[in-house]
């Protein structure tokens, strides 16, 4: 297991985006190119998660959101789904102690309905045990889909209007944001997707309105500190205007 106890350094603090989100793609293709079962690719993907958490701490990233299991992944073969569920359980059981000791707070976003009770109990335990940690917030998007997240928020607001608790003109972007799974978490500054694919795949659609995207050719099992640092370097080279002008533009 990777050592997660490394502490962030002040000189890196200015260099890092505050929140990095990652679409971890390519486990199956990584395995196929090596003549291995897809399950091996997923297991190696978990090793990449461990490396990336360690690198995020080194680089002083405050929030790391990883796309672990999408609501669309239920369409995959039953055997693969079972492997993915088992990996999530194993990750929590094996890594929770060390993550907690390293100051990592775990937060899981996504729909809880349809997830088996054993895994739900493990998720609740991980969130409770690490709730006061502040070194890094590891946000795991599990059984998550952005359209469903937005629909759930809209439904909650509609119910408030129907109950007379809210006026229609009080439905603002902030009101919707406060009812998303990511309430209290800043929007991602940087989103990374591995494996050469160039799409969001129903991930953080609301939150990524002004996020910088970096698409890498490497498959997720090959991802680590070097690739994260490369993506951050690209992020730092960009001019973020959020719809306005920079001093250079207005000069």
The 8-class DSSP code of residue 6 comes to: P
Q: Which stretches of 106-246 are DSSP H helices?
A: 117-129, 146-162, 173-177, 225-236
Cα 43 from Cα 50, distance rounded (Å): 11
Contact present, 210 and 242 (Cβ < 8 Å):
yes
- Three-class DSSP category at 138: strand
Contact present, 61 and 136 (Cβ < 8 Å):
yes
Residue 113: active-site member: no
Set 3, 25, 202, 217: catalytic member:
25
Quick one: CA dihedral 61, 226, 194, 104, positive or negative?
Answer: negative
Residue 25: active-site member: yes
Set 3, 60, 73, 189: catalytic member:
73
Query: What six digits make up the tokens of 25?
Result: 């793609």
| Cα–Cα nearest to 87, from 39, 25, 141, 50 | 39
Point out the residues that are catalytic. 25, 73
């Amino acid at each position: 297991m990777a050592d997660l106890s490394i502490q962030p350094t002040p000189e890196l603090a200015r260099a890092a985006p505050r929140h990095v989100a990652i679409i971890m793609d390519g486990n199956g293709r990584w395995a196929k190119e090596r003549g291995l079962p897809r399950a091996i690719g997923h297991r190696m993907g978990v090793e990449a998660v461990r490396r990336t958490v360690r690198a995020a701490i080194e680089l002083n990233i405050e929030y790391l959101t990883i796309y672990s299991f999408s609501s669309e992944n239920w369409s995959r073969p039953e055997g693969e789904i079972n492997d993915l569920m088992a990996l999530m359980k194993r990750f929590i059981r094996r890594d929770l102690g060390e993550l907690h000791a390293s100051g990592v707070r775990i937060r899981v976003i996504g729909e809880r309905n349809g997830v088996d009770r054993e895994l739900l109990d493990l998720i609740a335990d991980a969130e409770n045990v690490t709730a006061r940690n502040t070194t890094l917030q590891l946000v795991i998007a599990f059984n998550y889909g952005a359209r469903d997240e937005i629909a759930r928020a809209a439904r909650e607001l509609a119910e408030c209007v129907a109950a007379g608790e809210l006026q229609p003109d009080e439905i603002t972007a902030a009101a919707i944001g406060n009812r998303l799974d990511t309430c209290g978490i800043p929007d991602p500054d940087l989103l990374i997707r591995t494996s050469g694919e160039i799409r969001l795949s129903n991930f953080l659609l609301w939150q990524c309105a002004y996020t910088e995207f970096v698409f890498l050719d490497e498959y997720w099992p090959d991802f680590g500190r070097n690739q994260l640092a490369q993506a951050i370097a690209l992020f730092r080279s960009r001019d973020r205007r959020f719809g306005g002008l920079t001093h250079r533009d207005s000069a």
